[in-house]
Each structure stands twice: as structure tokens, then as C-alpha cells.
Amino acid sequence: MAGYDDRDGKIWMDGALVDWRDANVHILTHALHYASSVFEGERAYGGRIFESRAHSERLINSGTAIDMPIPWTIDEIEAAKLEVMKANGLGDAYVRAVAWRGAGEDMGVSSMRNKVRLAVAAWEWGAYYGDAKTRGAKLDISKWKRPSPETIPSHAKAAGLYMICTMSKHAAEAKGCGDALMMDYRGYVAEATGANIFFVKDGEVHTPLPDCFLDGITRQTVIGMLNDRGFTVHERHIMPGELEGFEQCWLTGTAAEVTPVGQIGDYNFEVGALAREISDAYEARVRA
């Protein structure tokens, strides 16, 4: 497949559809230098974006959190996403909405005079972790930690928060792993580089408390599904040493969907019945 800068199709930018190859920004775009950017990753199934409005709402809230008010309404963002999918003839697709500070009068840390821009792209994208849904993903343990919420608005889906995720995933891939588990600044289990994490022990589910990282939309959906099925879900701080006692594990995220985990560092997990049940149930739900 061609690189993401060299494809046929249309991308929505600042209110209009443009040819894919013409969806460019200037080299002095503020976001390129100072990470003034927020984004959403979404999946469409059969022409319908799962939890689309929740994603648009979070995009607006993320912009506000990093002092970058986005000058489009939720309804306008929703319409743009549907327009892009229609223009590209997509039914099952990954949808990326991104807002950023563009080039303008300011080229320092301060950027209040630079226009906030918005784009929406969509493309076909298969399983994020390849065949891990059947055999279980293999994770490294990252040396980088999720930062304190006193250092950055950790509830925002902001580009700058992903720098250490990229570094962690590169290190993991070099070891033959598909992703990396990250701890938080206190040493508690946090999340993977682009997905939340769940564990099973004695028929009950445990998942890290999202007090310094993103409370994912898929994470919230899966917790609701588990509650509806009568499972006890513990949202709590989890110490790394507890990994040895967990029986099953899975990741959740828009890209990851629900992906079982077979190994984290030296710890092994069964790709068990509950992980498979929730993965299958989530697949049925998004396509309902």
C-alpha cells in the first residue's frame, strides 16, 4: 500500500474536501514545533462510526484542555466525518479527526494569533495487532512512565502525550513484541501505548484507575458490557507484582478493539473464555 501521503481520495480540511495529496500544511505550522494538536481515532462499521458523537465531544474537550478552542461545533464535525466516508466510498473504515494550531503570526511558544485548523481523513485499516486476537498479543514493559496530571492534561487526547508511546512501541517492536505496557509516574500499572488494559483473576475483572491517563471510550464500553453480564469490575491501582497472579488479560481501544494478551514481559496469560467472549461481544455490538 502507498504511504499515507500518496493515496487517491479526499480529506476534509477546514470545511472543504481536498484531494488526498494536497492535504498539506506549512513547515512553520505551530503544532509541528510545539505539539499543539489533539486528535481522535474512530472506527466505522458498515457505514456507522461507533460512538461517533462521544469522539467528537472528546475532541472538543481535548482542545479546551490544552488551551486551543476548536472553532467547529460537534454537529459540524459529525457532518465532516460522514462527508469524508461518503466521498471515499468507505463503509468499514478508520476515521482520524485532528485539530491543530497552524502557521500564522506567532512562531514561539505562544500561539494565540495562529488559526486553529481541523481535518478529517478516513481509510481502510485491518486489525491493529494482526493475528493477536486469536493467539494473544505479546507486550514489552516500557521504561517510560505516564506523567503526573500536574505536568500535562492527561485526560486530553493530545499529540504531545504520545511521544513516549512511540518510543516505547519502537523499543517493544525491536524485541519482537507488538506493544508495551506502561506504568504511571507512581509505579502503578497504567496502559499500553495506545490501548487500555484489563486483567482477570478468580472470575473478577481488574483494570487500572484512569487518574493519569485517557479513560478510553472502548474501555468505558467494555466495562458496561461486563457489568451487564454480572461480572465484578475493580477499577483500582494495580502494582506490577500483581501481574503474576492474573489469569487472563486483554487490551481495549478504538484501533485495538478488544485484543487478548498472551504475554507481558516474563508474565504469561491464557487467551481464555472471558477474553474471547468480550472480544466477540464487542464485535457484535459495534456492528449491531
Does residue 1 surpass a pLDDT of 70? no
Same domain? For 258 and 276 the reply is: yes
For residues 35-51, give the mean pLDDT: 97
Total-model pTM: 0.96
Answer yes or no: is 88 within a domain: yes
Same domain? For 167 and 47 the reply is: no
Same domain? For 138 and 278 the reply is: yes
Residues 110-130 have pLDDT tens digits of: 999 999 999 999 999 988 888
Among candidates 187, 160, 182, which has minimal Cα distance to 68? 160
Same domain? For 119 and 137 the reply is: no
Total domains in the fold of the chain: 2
Tell me what pLDDT residue 286 has.
Answer: 97
Answer yes or no: is 5 within a domain: no
Answer yes or no: is 3 within a domain: no
Same domain? For 140 and 228 the reply is: yes
Same domain? For 178 and 230 the reply is: yes
Strand order in the sheet with 10-13: 16-19, 10-13, 116-123, 93-101, 37-45, 48-49
Answer yes or no: is 220 within a domain: yes
Residues 66-123 have pLDDT tens digits of: 999 999 999 999 999 999 999 999 999 999 999 999 999 999 999 999 999 999 999 9
CATH code, domain carrying 222: 3.20.10.10
Answer yes or no: is 4 within a domain: no
Same domain? For 215 and 75 the reply is: no
Answer yes or no: is 245 within a domain: yes
- Domain containing 200 equals 132-286
Are residues 20 and 58 in contact, defined by beta-carbon separation less than 8 angstroms?
no
How far from 194 is each of 215, 262, 265, CA to CA, in Å?
Answer: 11, 17, 18
Does residue 53 surpass a pLDDT of 90? yes
Domain final residue, candidates 101, 123, 145 = 123
CATH code, domain carrying 102: 3.30.470.10
Same domain? For 88 and 144 the reply is: no
DSSP 246-285: --EEEEEETTTEEEEEEEETTEE----HHHHHHHHHHHHH
Same domain? For 191 and 256 the reply is: yes
Tell me what pLDDT residue 131 has.
Answer: 83
Answer yes or no: is 1 within a domain: no
Domain final residue, candidates 123, 152, 176 = 123
Answer yes or no: is 248 within a domain: yes
Are residues 242 and 234 in contact, defined by beta-carbon separation less than 8 angstroms?
no
DSSP the chain: ---TTS-SSEEEETTEEEEGGG----TT-HHHHH--EEEEEEEEETTEETTHHHHHHHHHHHHHHTT---SS-HHHHHHHHHHHHHHTT-SSEEEEEEEEE-SSS--SS--TTSPEEEEEEEE----TTTTHHHH-EEEEEEEEEEPPTTTS-TTS-BGGGGHHHHHHHHHHHHTT-SEEEEEETTS-EEEESSSEEEEEETTEEEEE--SSS---HHHHHHHHHHHHTT--EEEE---GGGGGG--EEEEEETTTEEEEEEEETTEE----HHHHHHHHHHHHHHT-
Angle of CA points 182, 187, 188, to nearest 5°: 75
Tell me what pLDDT residue 94 has.
Answer: 97
Domain final residue, candidates 97, 123, 149 = 123
For residues 165-179, give the mean pLDDT: 98
Same domain? For 103 and 218 the reply is: no
Same domain? For 68 and 182 the reply is: no
Q: Which of 81, 138, 157, 169 is the catalytic position?
A: 157
Tell me what pLDDT residue 59 has.
Answer: 98
Same domain? For 161 and 255 the reply is: yes
Residues 242-276 have pLDDT tens digits of: 999 999 999 999 999 999 999 999 999 999 999 99
Active site residue 86: no
